Amino acid sequence: MHRLSLSRGHLIFFCLIIGLYLLRYYAALPNAEERAVQRYQGSVIQIQGMIVEEPIPTGSGVRARFLIERIALSTRWWPNTSELTLRTDGLKDLAYGDRIEIRGRLDPPSEYDHPRVVGGVQTSSIKLLERGGGSAIRRALISTKNILIGRLNKVFQEPYGSLAAGFLLGARSSIPQSIIEDFRRTGLTHILALSGFNIVIIINVITSLLRPLPRTAAGLSALAGITLFTLLVGAGASIVRAALMGSLGIVGGLLRRPVRSARMLYIAGYLMILHDPFILMHDIGFQLSFCATAGIIYFNKRIEEHLSFIPERFALRETVTTTWSAQLLTLPLLLYYFHALSLIGTAVNIFVLPLIPLTMLGATLALMGGSLFAAPTALLMRLMLWIVGVGAAVPYGYLDFS
């Protein structure tokens, strides 16, 4: 009887969380007023509004998420609250919070656009109306991030400055495309994404520095540091997932009630999809991060039991086990989205992953201490790029099914 009651309770709870998610999903879809602008697809429109996300460089221009405030129809301006993707050529001096007036052709949204985006505009003219809109805190964080990226680019020569900015701050836009392609062919693009490793470093550094203080003070400081770092680097899906799991672990420790990793993953994932219900089906970063973490949690020990023949020296067995555990659930997604498979990934991981902690430590010290730590860190990155380049050039090491 007890088991039946427990099963029924779990079923009711499961139905409730699914129902809550569906309500949140349909409530977040663009309403009729926001979709009304789609009737002008294919036409040249004139609109005013604000850039609501940090623009992404695209070679000759930028791409940015744009919130319409009003649209010109005939001789009058009409209010509107639709979201568009703004694409420009030849103009890069745009920032989060800029209020602008643009003119351009309204196109349908692309498959990569957020579901709240109802179209895209390829601009033919842009007029800056006002700077400094949006959240002052967010502007300050973006400015701080750009200052840190500039500092890394001064300390390191290219491409090492861009690579260090990718490791520490998740800024990948300046990394040469040839390097990104090599990482992709060797199955190592996850190294360029911020993840749990960054959060672990923050937690360890803060708690070590504040060890003389009470546990509560150190824990709360670590939570503040995690939150600040997550906002600073742009709160992408992988780092938000890691930050939430790390925060749950800290809270559990402070309450002396440790939380299992699987439970932390589920709680973090559910909080994320409640905040943005579209990431479950439309955010590749969220899907890959969640599945990779789930694979490590559920399959790491089981796979390790069958790899006893691999020596533990230099964390060799751990590296192979973690790599295969993560790939077990991400492989179907990688095949579905990218139609490709890296056969050389495990071998390259064995040589590259041990370099990551040292590289991140060196880049952090170089950021704070200047060129004293830059030279040895640049050597590590040079070695890493050489290994990745050799792996990417291996015949049949990368299969493209597209």
Residues 71 and 175 in one domain: no
Residues 203 and 226 in one domain: yes
Return the CATH number at 98.
Answer: 2.40.50.140
In a domain, 18, yes or no: no
In a domain, 5, yes or no: no
Which of 100, 115, 134 represents a domain boundary (last residue)?
A: 134
- 386, 348 Cβ separation under 8 angstroms: no
In a domain, 9, yes or no: no
Instruction: Name, in order, each residue with C-beta under 8 angstroms of 46's C-beta and a sequence gap of 6 or more.
Output: 71, 72, 101, 102, 103
Residues 152 and 251 in one domain: yes
Q: What domain range includes position 369?
A: 142-400
In a domain, 367, yes or no: yes
In a domain, 12, yes or no: no
pLDDT at 286: 92
Which of 112, 134, 156 represents a domain boundary (last residue)?
A: 134
Number of compact structural domains in the chain:
2
Residues 271 and 352 in one domain: yes
Give the DSSP H or E segment for 71: strand 62-73
Residues 60 and 178 in one domain: no
* Dihedral, 77, 79, 83, 86 alpha carbons, nearest 10: 20
Kindly report the backbone phi and psi dihedral angles of residue 362, in degrees, each rounded to the nearest multiple of 5, phi listed first. -65, -40
pLDDT at 390: 95
Q: Quote the Cα angle for 236-242-243, to 5°.
A: 85
Residues 95 and 158 in one domain: no
Residues 341 and 215 in one domain: yes
Instruction: Name, in order, each residue with C-beta under 8 angstroms of 271's C-beta and a sequence gap of 6 or more.
Output: 244
- 119, 109 Cβ separation under 8 angstroms: yes
Residues 190 and 234 in one domain: yes
Residues 259 and 394 in one domain: yes
Which of 78, 99, 134 represents a domain boundary (last residue)?
A: 134
Give the DSSP H or E segment for 72: strand 62-73
Q: pLDDT 10s per residue in the chain (402 long)?
A: 444 445 777 788 888 988 999 999 988 888 888 888 888 888 888 999 999 988 887 776 788 888 988 888 777 888 888 888 888 876 668 889 999 998 888 888 888 888 888 888 888 888 889 998 888 999 999 999 999 999 999 999 989 999 999 999 988 878 888 999 999 999 888 888 887 888 888 888 888 888 888 889 989 999 999 999 999 988 888 899 999 999 999 999 999 888 899 999 999 999 999 999 999 988 998 999 999 999 999 999 999 988 888 888 877 888 899 889 999 999 999 999 989 999 998 899 899 988 988 999 899 889 887 678 899 999 999 999 999 999 999 999 999 887
In a domain, 1, yes or no: no
3-class state of residue 127 by DSSP: strand
In a domain, 4, yes or no: no
Kindly report the backbone phi and psi dihedral angles of residue 75, in degrees, each rounded to the nearest multiple of 5, phi listed first. -115, 15
Residues 152 and 128 in one domain: no
Give the DSSP H or E segment for 178: helix 177-185
pLDDT at 265: 94
Residues 84 and 205 in one domain: no
Q: Is the dihedral of CA 86, 89, 91, 92 positive or negative?
A: positive
In a domain, 196, yes or no: yes
Residues 267 and 156 in one domain: yes
pLDDT at 2: 40
